[in-house]
Structure 1
Amino acid sequence: MSDSNALVPSHERGGALDLGGDSQDFVTAYIGKQLFGIPVLTVQDVLGPQRITRIPLAPPEVAGSLNLRGRIVTAIDVRKRLGLRDKDDDDPGMSIVVDQGGELYSLMVDQVGEVLSVPKKAFEQNPATLDPRWREFSDGIFRLDKKLLVILDVTRLLDFTSSIKQAG
Protein backbone atom coordinates (compact mmCIF):
# COMPACT_ATOMS: atom_id res chain seq x y z
CA MET A 1 0.00 0.00 0.00
CA SER A 2 2.34 2.60 -1.25
CA ASP A 3 0.11 5.52 -2.20
CA SER A 4 -1.22 6.57 1.18
CA ASN A 5 -0.09 6.21 4.75
CA ALA A 6 -3.76 6.41 5.72
CA LEU A 7 -4.24 2.98 4.15
CA VAL A 8 -1.62 1.32 6.34
CA PRO A 9 -3.36 -0.98 8.82
CA SER A 10 -3.38 0.36 12.37
CA HIS A 11 -1.10 -2.42 13.65
CA GLU A 12 1.59 -1.28 11.16
CA ARG A 13 1.22 2.38 12.22
CA GLY A 14 2.03 1.52 15.81
CA GLY A 15 -1.54 1.02 17.04
CA ALA A 16 -2.67 -2.35 18.32
CA LEU A 17 -4.94 -4.25 15.96
CA ASP A 18 -7.62 -5.96 18.01
CA LEU A 19 -9.59 -8.25 15.72
CA GLY A 20 -12.12 -8.75 18.48
CA GLY A 21 -12.34 -5.00 19.13
CA ASP A 22 -15.25 -2.64 19.06
CA SER A 23 -14.72 -1.21 15.58
CA GLN A 24 -14.05 -2.24 11.99
CA ASP A 25 -11.98 -0.34 9.40
CA PHE A 26 -13.10 0.15 5.81
CA VAL A 27 -11.65 1.91 2.78
CA THR A 28 -14.56 3.97 1.52
CA ALA A 29 -15.44 4.65 -2.09
CA TYR A 30 -18.16 6.55 -3.87
CA ILE A 31 -20.03 5.23 -6.84
CA GLY A 32 -22.37 7.99 -7.85
CA LYS A 33 -23.56 9.47 -4.58
CA GLN A 34 -23.55 6.14 -2.73
CA LEU A 35 -20.84 5.38 -0.17
CA PHE A 36 -19.42 1.85 -0.17
CA GLY A 37 -16.91 0.23 2.16
CA ILE A 38 -14.30 -2.45 1.53
CA PRO A 39 -12.60 -4.11 4.51
CA VAL A 40 -9.21 -2.42 4.86
CA LEU A 41 -7.32 -5.69 5.26
CA THR A 42 -8.38 -6.82 1.76
CA VAL A 43 -7.03 -3.65 0.10
CA GLN A 44 -3.58 -3.85 -1.50
CA ASP A 45 -3.35 -0.42 -3.15
CA VAL A 46 -5.29 2.65 -4.25
CA LEU A 47 -4.69 3.95 -7.77
CA GLY A 48 -5.50 7.08 -9.69
CA PRO A 49 -6.48 6.90 -13.37
CA GLN A 50 -4.74 4.05 -15.19
CA ARG A 51 -4.32 3.03 -18.81
CA ILE A 52 -6.53 0.00 -19.25
CA THR A 53 -6.17 -2.45 -22.11
CA ARG A 54 -9.46 -3.93 -23.33
CA ILE A 55 -9.79 -7.71 -23.28
CA PRO A 56 -11.65 -9.12 -26.30
CA LEU A 57 -14.78 -11.17 -25.49
CA ALA A 58 -14.59 -10.33 -21.78
CA PRO A 59 -17.86 -9.87 -19.86
CA PRO A 60 -19.10 -6.25 -19.70
CA GLU A 61 -18.02 -5.95 -16.03
CA VAL A 62 -14.40 -6.53 -17.03
CA ALA A 63 -13.07 -3.17 -18.20
CA GLY A 64 -9.75 -4.74 -19.20
CA SER A 65 -6.35 -5.20 -17.64
CA LEU A 66 -3.58 -2.96 -16.39
CA ASN A 67 0.06 -3.37 -15.45
CA LEU A 68 0.82 -2.69 -11.80
CA ARG A 69 4.55 -2.87 -11.11
CA GLY A 70 4.96 -5.78 -13.51
CA ARG A 71 1.82 -7.67 -12.50
CA ILE A 72 -1.21 -7.96 -14.72
CA VAL A 73 -4.32 -6.80 -12.86
CA THR A 74 -7.89 -7.38 -14.05
CA ALA A 75 -9.90 -4.15 -13.94
CA ILE A 76 -13.52 -4.57 -12.83
CA ASP A 77 -16.11 -1.86 -13.55
CA VAL A 78 -17.99 -1.89 -10.24
CA ARG A 79 -20.71 0.36 -11.69
CA LYS A 80 -21.61 -2.31 -14.24
CA ARG A 81 -21.30 -5.08 -11.66
CA LEU A 82 -23.84 -3.26 -9.46
CA GLY A 83 -26.20 -2.69 -12.38
CA LEU A 84 -25.65 1.08 -12.52
CA ARG A 85 -25.54 3.13 -15.71
CA ASP A 86 -22.28 4.53 -17.04
CA LYS A 87 -21.06 7.87 -15.72
CA ASP A 88 -22.16 10.99 -17.59
CA ASP A 89 -18.78 12.71 -17.35
CA ASP A 90 -15.34 11.72 -18.66
CA ASP A 91 -13.74 11.53 -15.20
CA PRO A 92 -11.70 8.31 -15.28
CA GLY A 93 -12.23 7.69 -11.57
CA MET A 94 -9.96 5.71 -9.26
CA SER A 95 -9.31 2.08 -8.41
CA ILE A 96 -9.01 0.01 -5.27
CA VAL A 97 -6.73 -3.00 -5.77
CA VAL A 98 -7.71 -6.14 -3.88
CA ASP A 99 -6.22 -9.62 -3.69
CA GLN A 100 -8.62 -12.47 -4.30
CA GLY A 101 -7.17 -15.97 -4.25
CA GLY A 102 -3.68 -14.73 -5.14
CA GLU A 103 -4.92 -12.70 -8.12
CA LEU A 104 -5.05 -8.90 -8.11
CA TYR A 105 -8.19 -7.07 -9.18
CA SER A 106 -8.64 -3.34 -9.67
CA LEU A 107 -12.13 -2.28 -8.54
CA MET A 108 -12.94 0.82 -10.59
CA VAL A 109 -14.94 3.37 -8.58
CA ASP A 110 -15.83 7.05 -9.05
CA GLN A 111 -13.85 8.28 -6.07
CA VAL A 112 -11.94 6.80 -3.13
CA GLY A 113 -12.78 8.32 0.22
CA GLU A 114 -11.02 7.77 3.52
CA VAL A 115 -10.32 4.89 5.83
CA LEU A 116 -13.28 4.87 8.17
CA SER A 117 -13.42 3.13 11.52
CA VAL A 118 -17.01 2.30 12.47
CA PRO A 119 -18.33 0.75 15.67
CA LYS A 120 -19.25 -2.92 15.22
CA LYS A 121 -22.43 -2.39 17.23
CA ALA A 122 -23.72 -0.06 14.48
CA PHE A 123 -23.64 -2.90 11.91
CA GLU A 124 -27.00 -3.89 10.41
CA GLN A 125 -28.12 -6.60 8.04
CA ASN A 126 -29.09 -5.45 4.56
CA PRO A 127 -32.45 -3.67 4.72
CA ALA A 128 -35.25 -4.97 2.51
CA THR A 129 -35.25 -1.60 0.72
CA LEU A 130 -31.65 -2.04 -0.51
CA ASP A 131 -31.46 -2.64 -4.27
CA PRO A 132 -31.61 -6.44 -4.80
CA ARG A 133 -28.49 -6.38 -7.00
CA TRP A 134 -26.57 -4.50 -4.29
CA ARG A 135 -27.87 -6.87 -1.63
CA GLU A 136 -26.31 -9.75 -3.59
CA PHE A 137 -22.84 -8.17 -3.13
CA SER A 138 -23.28 -6.58 0.30
CA ASP A 139 -22.38 -7.97 3.73
CA GLY A 140 -24.55 -5.35 5.44
CA ILE A 141 -24.68 -1.65 6.20
CA PHE A 142 -23.73 1.02 8.68
CA ARG A 143 -25.95 4.07 9.11
CA LEU A 144 -23.71 7.12 9.39
CA ASP A 145 -24.65 10.79 9.79
CA LYS A 146 -26.80 11.46 6.71
CA LYS A 147 -25.17 8.56 4.80
CA LEU A 148 -25.55 4.85 4.37
CA LEU A 149 -22.30 2.87 4.18
CA VAL A 150 -22.87 -0.30 2.13
CA ILE A 151 -20.20 -2.93 2.86
CA LEU A 152 -19.09 -4.81 -0.25
CA ASP A 153 -18.32 -8.51 -0.09
CA VAL A 154 -15.32 -8.63 -2.45
CA THR A 155 -15.51 -12.43 -2.80
CA ARG A 156 -19.10 -12.30 -4.07
CA LEU A 157 -18.40 -9.21 -6.18
CA LEU A 158 -15.61 -11.07 -7.99
CA ASP A 159 -17.35 -14.47 -8.08
CA PHE A 160 -18.01 -14.26 -11.84
CA THR A 161 -14.26 -14.03 -12.57
CA SER A 162 -13.66 -17.72 -11.83
CA SER A 163 -15.49 -18.62 -15.04
CA ILE A 164 -13.30 -16.16 -16.98
CA LYS A 165 -10.13 -17.87 -15.77
CA GLN A 166 -11.49 -21.33 -16.70
CA ALA A 167 -12.45 -20.15 -20.20
CA GLY A 168 -9.00 -18.59 -20.81
Structure 2
Amino acid sequence: MSDIFSIVGSSLDAQNARMGAIASNLANADSVAAPGTAPYRAHEVVFEASPLDPTDSDSDGTSTNDTTADDPGVSVLGTVLSNAAPKTTYDPSSPYADAQGYVTGSNVDPVHQMVDLIDSSNSYSASVAVLQQADRVDQQLLSSFQVS
Protein backbone atom coordinates (compact mmCIF):
# COMPACT_ATOMS: atom_id res chain seq x y z
CA MET A 1 0.00 0.00 0.00
CA SER A 2 2.96 2.34 0.49
CA ASP A 3 3.63 2.21 -3.27
CA ILE A 4 0.37 4.04 -3.95
CA PHE A 5 1.43 6.94 -1.76
CA SER A 6 4.82 7.08 -3.47
CA ILE A 7 3.25 7.00 -6.92
CA VAL A 8 0.63 9.64 -6.11
CA GLY A 9 3.15 11.85 -4.34
CA SER A 10 5.49 11.76 -7.31
CA SER A 11 2.57 12.55 -9.62
CA LEU A 12 1.64 15.58 -7.53
CA ASP A 13 5.25 16.78 -7.55
CA ALA A 14 5.49 16.31 -11.32
CA GLN A 15 2.27 18.20 -12.05
CA ASN A 16 3.33 20.95 -9.65
CA ALA A 17 6.57 21.37 -11.65
CA ARG A 18 4.57 21.40 -14.89
CA MET A 19 2.18 24.08 -13.59
CA GLY A 20 5.17 26.17 -12.49
CA ALA A 21 6.67 26.01 -15.97
CA ILE A 22 3.31 26.91 -17.51
CA ALA A 23 2.97 29.91 -15.17
CA SER A 24 6.44 31.10 -16.18
CA ASN A 25 5.60 30.66 -19.84
CA LEU A 26 2.35 32.61 -19.56
CA ALA A 27 4.11 35.39 -17.65
CA ASN A 28 6.56 35.75 -20.55
CA ALA A 29 4.11 35.23 -23.42
CA ASP A 30 4.21 38.87 -24.52
CA SER A 31 7.87 39.52 -23.87
CA VAL A 32 10.07 40.88 -26.65
CA ALA A 33 13.79 40.72 -27.13
CA ALA A 34 16.13 43.59 -27.79
CA PRO A 35 17.94 43.39 -31.12
CA GLY A 36 20.80 40.92 -30.91
CA THR A 37 19.41 39.07 -27.90
CA ALA A 38 17.54 35.79 -27.76
CA PRO A 39 13.80 35.93 -27.04
CA TYR A 40 12.17 33.97 -24.23
CA ARG A 41 11.52 30.36 -25.23
CA ALA A 42 8.77 28.28 -23.68
CA HIS A 43 9.86 25.73 -21.09
CA GLU A 44 8.50 22.19 -21.28
CA VAL A 45 8.82 19.75 -18.37
CA VAL A 46 10.11 16.26 -19.15
CA PHE A 47 8.77 13.34 -17.11
CA GLU A 48 10.01 9.79 -16.73
CA ALA A 49 8.06 6.85 -15.37
CA SER A 50 9.70 4.76 -12.68
CA PRO A 51 7.90 1.44 -13.03
CA LEU A 52 7.76 -1.34 -10.49
CA ASP A 53 10.79 -3.59 -10.72
CA PRO A 54 9.62 -6.90 -12.30
CA THR A 55 12.40 -8.79 -10.47
CA ASP A 56 10.69 -8.00 -7.16
CA SER A 57 8.03 -10.70 -7.44
CA ASP A 58 7.59 -14.18 -6.06
CA SER A 59 7.36 -17.25 -8.26
CA ASP A 60 3.56 -16.89 -8.34
CA GLY A 61 3.87 -13.37 -9.78
CA THR A 62 2.84 -11.47 -6.67
CA SER A 63 4.93 -8.51 -5.70
CA THR A 64 7.23 -8.58 -2.68
CA ASN A 65 7.85 -5.60 -0.46
CA ASP A 66 11.63 -5.91 -0.12
CA THR A 67 12.46 -3.50 -2.92
CA THR A 68 15.79 -1.76 -2.96
CA ALA A 69 15.13 0.06 -6.24
CA ASP A 70 13.84 3.60 -6.56
CA ASP A 71 10.28 4.28 -5.53
CA PRO A 72 7.78 3.74 -8.33
CA GLY A 73 6.06 6.74 -9.82
CA VAL A 74 6.93 9.73 -11.95
CA SER A 75 10.15 11.70 -11.83
CA VAL A 76 10.90 15.06 -13.37
CA LEU A 77 14.00 14.82 -15.52
CA GLY A 78 14.11 18.57 -16.06
CA THR A 79 12.91 21.12 -18.56
CA VAL A 80 13.69 21.65 -22.20
CA LEU A 81 13.21 24.76 -24.29
CA SER A 82 10.58 24.67 -27.00
CA ASN A 83 11.81 24.44 -30.59
CA ALA A 84 8.92 26.56 -31.89
CA ALA A 85 9.96 29.58 -33.89
CA PRO A 86 9.80 32.95 -32.11
CA LYS A 87 7.05 35.35 -33.12
CA THR A 88 8.09 38.29 -35.26
CA THR A 89 5.98 41.35 -35.95
CA TYR A 90 6.68 44.32 -38.15
CA ASP A 91 6.84 47.47 -36.01
CA PRO A 92 9.63 49.81 -37.11
CA SER A 93 8.62 52.40 -34.48
CA SER A 94 9.40 50.02 -31.60
CA PRO A 95 12.66 50.52 -29.69
CA TYR A 96 13.04 46.73 -29.90
CA ALA A 97 12.87 46.62 -33.70
CA ASP A 98 15.85 45.31 -35.65
CA ALA A 99 17.33 47.03 -38.72
CA GLN A 100 14.52 45.66 -40.91
CA GLY A 101 11.81 46.89 -38.51
CA TYR A 102 10.88 43.50 -37.03
CA VAL A 103 10.36 42.88 -33.32
CA THR A 104 11.14 39.38 -32.06
CA GLY A 105 8.95 38.01 -29.29
CA SER A 106 8.67 34.82 -27.29
CA ASN A 107 7.49 31.56 -28.84
CA VAL A 108 4.89 30.99 -26.13
CA ASP A 109 1.43 30.10 -27.46
CA PRO A 110 -0.99 31.15 -24.69
CA VAL A 111 -3.79 28.91 -25.98
CA HIS A 112 -1.52 25.87 -25.95
CA GLN A 113 -0.31 26.80 -22.46
CA MET A 114 -3.88 27.08 -21.18
CA VAL A 115 -4.74 23.64 -22.60
CA ASP A 116 -1.64 22.25 -20.88
CA LEU A 117 -2.67 23.98 -17.65
CA ILE A 118 -6.14 22.40 -17.78
CA ASP A 119 -4.59 18.99 -18.46
CA SER A 120 -2.13 19.38 -15.61
CA SER A 121 -4.85 20.59 -13.25
CA ASN A 122 -7.03 17.58 -14.14
CA SER A 123 -4.10 15.21 -13.55
CA TYR A 124 -3.41 16.87 -10.21
CA SER A 125 -7.08 16.54 -9.20
CA ALA A 126 -7.16 12.88 -10.22
CA SER A 127 -4.06 12.19 -8.13
CA VAL A 128 -5.64 13.88 -5.11
CA ALA A 129 -8.78 11.74 -5.59
CA VAL A 130 -6.65 8.56 -5.67
CA LEU A 131 -4.88 9.68 -2.49
CA GLN A 132 -8.21 10.34 -0.76
CA GLN A 133 -9.55 6.95 -1.81
CA ALA A 134 -6.41 5.18 -0.59
CA ASP A 135 -6.80 6.96 2.75
CA ARG A 136 -10.43 5.80 2.98
CA VAL A 137 -9.36 2.22 2.28
CA ASP A 138 -6.68 2.46 4.99
CA GLN A 139 -9.21 3.84 7.49
CA GLN A 140 -11.70 1.06 6.71
CA LEU A 141 -8.97 -1.54 7.06
CA LEU A 142 -7.94 -0.17 10.45
CA SER A 143 -11.52 0.07 11.67
CA SER A 144 -12.14 -3.57 10.70
CA PHE A 145 -9.53 -4.64 13.26
CA GLN A 146 -10.96 -2.60 16.11
CA VAL A 147 -12.70 -4.53 18.85
CA SER A 148 -16.13 -3.20 19.82
Q: TM-score, normalised by structure 2?
A: 0.25
Greater Rg over alpha carbons, structure: 2
Structure number with higher relative contact order (C-alpha < 8 Å, ≥ 6 residues apart): 2
Indicate the structure with greater strand content.
Answer: 1
Indicate the structure with greater helix content.
Answer: 2
